[in-house]
Each structure stands twice: as C-alpha cells, then as structure tokens.
Amino acid sequence: MTAAIEFRDVSRVYGEVHAVDRVSLTVQAGEFFAMLGPSGSGKTTCLRLIAGFETPDTGSVLLNGREVTDEPPYARDVNTVFQDYALFPHMSVLENVAYGPRVRGQRKDDWRRRAQEMLELVQLGNFGERRPSQLSGGQRQRVSLARALINQPRVLLLDEPLGALDLKLREEMQIELKNLQRRLGITFVFVTHDQGEALSMADRVAVFNRGRIEQLDTPRTLYMRPATAFVARFVGSANVVTGELAQRLSGRADPFAVRAENIRLRAPAAAPDADTVSCIGDVADVQYHGAVSRWQVRLESGEVFAAAVADAGNNGDFRIGARVRLEWLRSDAVPLSSAESP
C-alpha cells in the first residue's frame, strides 16, 4: 500500500547545522502521526519539508508515492494549521476559510456556501462575518482548521496547534482533533514537544533528537521499550543507568532504563523479592502529586534515582535522609542501544 508520506534520506542543512540529518520515514494513509522532540530537534523542519516551505538539500519527499521534492506548497495536496494560526486580518472569518477555493477559481456563491459549511463543522457557524482579531484563541484555531480542511487535502499538518491554549481547552481540543481525524479518515501529522499529547493522540510517534529520529513506534512501545537513553528520558520519566553502576546491577556494562513507576521502596534490611535488582540509597526529596508521590533517592555512588510510588499511606516510614532500598523486577530493566545524553 502506498504510504501517504515518505521521506527517503532527507537532509536539510543550514550552514554548519544539520536541522534534519538523513531522515527516512513513512506515514500511512489515515494515520494520526506525531513528531515529538525538544525545540531544535528537526521535527518542525520535517513538517515544513512535507508542506513545501523548505526544500531538502539531499534526499526526496514523496506524497502518495509521487515525488514532490521540488514542488511548491500550492501544488501539493497538503494543508497546514500554523502555530500562530496565520489568519489573514484584513479578511473576515468566512473569507479566510474560503481562501483556498477562491484562489483556485471557484465562483463566489460556491465558495461562500462551502466556507459556511466548514464553519458549521467546527461549530463557528455564526462567526462568518467577524474578523479574526475578534475571536478567542480557541476559536481562531478552529477557523484555521476549517480553512485548511476546506480543500479536502489528503494530509493535514498541524504545527504545535495546542501550545497556545490553556489546559482545559487543550484537553478538549485533543479529543476533538482525534474525533475529527477519525471521521474524516485523512492523514494527520502533528508536531509537538509535549510527550503526553503525542502519546495520547497518535497512532505512531517519531521521536526526534538533533535532526534524527531516535525511535519511531506506537506510543505503548515507546513507553515500555525505549530504544535509547534520550527516548527513555524524554518519554515518561525513566532512570537511565550506565557505566559502572550498570555493570554492578545487571552484570553487563550496557546501559539500561528503568521507569520510575516500576521502582519500589523497601526497607534496607528486608529480604528482596525474587528476580529483582536492588540498590541502596538515601532519600533526597519527596514530592506529593496526589495519586502518586515522586521520590528522589541518592545512591552512594552519587547517581540519583527517581521513583514514582502510588501513595498507599505506608511510605511515611521513609523520611528525607532515611536509608532505603530501591527494588525493581529484572524484566523491567529495558536495554538501551545508546547511552548518549540528550
């Protein structure tokens, strides 16, 4: 089956900096695909390469099996929702939404009608005659969605669309976007630096770091089986164990990761359970987060482990400064391919 989007060894270089460094990926039709990473990791540049705002220095970009590397944005069957929404202030909301059909030469009655339909789709049916400056952030976002979708693109690109919204609104929009994608059935490619967002919304996530994809997997796999130290640290909070300590705890010098929530706190004297790995340390800090408490435990060798423990009330035994034993199942230690810190 032809992929909706394909990158073949794509690079984009600015002077000395490899913003995108030989990236290859495929996005399947109908997927909700997320590109996750810290700022400067190359995820936004990849999005712009798909849209056509940038041209790769090497490699090729294919949409639906066809090479589009040199094609300008207006020739691609892709539409973008911008981070700042990019609504045109000198046009009304309706005219904004109708921009695509209008510049493609549709008749006035047609584009007015279709734009009105799209506005109703995003529940802004009565806002057609207003100016973008008169709308709230959430409303502007929906207008820019409508404006992008009216062209019925095969692929919709979203550049950190929820960043400017407050928490409640963000959570609502996450659900709305997911429903919208399911209903329309088109491919969504979504850029974000918020791993929680990526994990909850996407079918597959590509984790970017310094211009390369460290791992491309389903959210569950990324979380449970991070491939590198970077992914382990960036997605969820994991303890990355390397070098001497790794040698001592696992018998091999290869780095591994243990998720904070997989670590249990035990009294130093108590006997360890079967198939577990232990180490001793002093409690450095405790933070109460409602259902879960986050503990920072400093080992003798200096490393600090983070443990996320369900607050069952019995952890008052361990106060700051107390000695404690960290214990985890051997199978919860995930081997990593690279111990480079991000």
Partner 1 sequence: MRAVSTFLYRRPAVYVLMLLIPPLLWFGTVYLGSLFTLLAQSFYAIDEFTAKVVYQPTLATYEQVVTQPANVDIIMRTLSMAVAVTIACGLIALPIANYMVRYASPRARAFFYVGVMLPMWMSYLVKVYAWRLILAKQGILSWLLDTVGLGAALEALLRLPGVGGPSLSASYLGMFIVFVYMWLPFMILPLAAALEKVPESLLQASADLGARPVQTFRRVTLPLALPGLAAGSVFTFSLTLGDYIIPSVVGAPGYFIGMMVYQQQGTAGNIPLAAAFSVVPIVLIMIYLTLAKRAGAFDAL
Partner 2 sequence: MRYRRWNEPSLGARLAAYAVLAFMHLPVLVIVLYAFTTADRTYEFPPPGLTFHWFEAAFARSDIWAAMRLSLSVAAVATVLAIVLGSLTALGMARGNFRGKESITVLLVLPIALPGIITGIALLSAIKSAQLDPGFWTIVAGHATFCIVIVYNNVVARLRRLPHSWIEASMDLGADGWQTFRHIVLPQTATALLAGGMLAFALSFDEIIVTLFTAGHERTLPIWFFNELFRPRERPITNVVAVVVMVVTFVPILIAYRLTRRGSA
Residue 71 or 340 with smaller CB distance to partner 1: 71
Task: With CB under 8 A as the rule, give the number of residues binding partner 1.
Answer: 6
CB of 68 to partner 1, least distance (A): 12
Position among 2, 17, 103, 182 found at the interface with partner 2 (CB under 8 A):
103
CB of 192 to partner 2, least distance (A): 18
Beta strands in 31-135 (DSSP E): 32-36, 58-63, 66-67, 78-81
Q: At CA 331, angle to CA 252 and CA 230, rounded to 5?
A: 70
Q: Could you say whether residue 75 binds partner 1 (CB under 8 A)?
A: yes
Residue 70 or 273 with smaller CB distance to partner 1: 70
Residue 88's binding partner, choosing from partner 2, partner 1, none, with beta-carbon cut-off 5 to 8 A by kind? Answer: partner 2
Q: Could you say whether residue 14 binds partner 1 (CB under 8 A)?
A: no
Residue 155 in 3-state DSSP? strand
CA nearest neighbour of 191 among 76, 79, 74, 82: 82
Residue 55's binding partner, choosing from partner 1, partner 2, none, with beta-carbon cut-off 5 to 8 A by kind? Answer: partner 1
CA nearest neighbour of 36 among 199, 221, 220: 199
Position among 9, 65, 67, 72 found at the interface with partner 1 (CB under 8 A):
72
Q: Could you say whether residue 268 binds partner 1 (CB under 8 A)?
A: no
Q: Could you say whether residue 133 binds partner 2 (CB under 8 A)?
A: no
CB of 169 to partner 1, least distance (A): 36
Phi, psi of 79 (to 5 degrees): -130, 155
CA atoms lying within 13 Å on the CB side of residue 339: 14
Q: Could you say whether residue 14 binds partner 2 (CB under 8 A)?
A: no
Q: Could you say whether residue 70 binds partner 1 (CB under 8 A)?
A: yes
The tokens for 280 are 């001793």
Residue 37 or 52 with smaller CB distance to partner 1: 52
Phi, psi of 317 (to 5 degrees): -65, -35
Site pattern 149..178 for partner 2 (x: CB under 8 A): --x---------------------------
Q: Could you say whether residue 55 binds partner 1 (CB under 8 A)?
A: yes
Identity of residue 264: R
Task: With CB under 8 A as the rule, give the number of residues binding partner 2.
Answer: 22
Chain positions 287 to 316 lying near partner 1, rule: CB under 8 A, are none
Residue 55 or 179 with smaller CB distance to partner 1: 55
Cα dist from 297 to 34, 79, 91, 238, 326, whole Å: 34, 48, 58, 13, 8
Residue reference for tokens 């791992």: 215
Q: How far apart are CA 232 and CA 195, in angstroms?
A: 11
Given a contact cutoff of 8 angstroms between Cβ atoms, the answer to whether 187 and 200 are in contact is no
Q: Could you say whether residue 78 binds partner 2 (CB under 8 A)?
A: yes
Q: Could you say whether residue 80 binds partner 2 (CB under 8 A)?
A: yes
CA atoms lying within 13 Å on the CB side of residue 92: 12
Which chain residues interact with partner 1 by CB under 8 A? 55, 70-72, 74-75
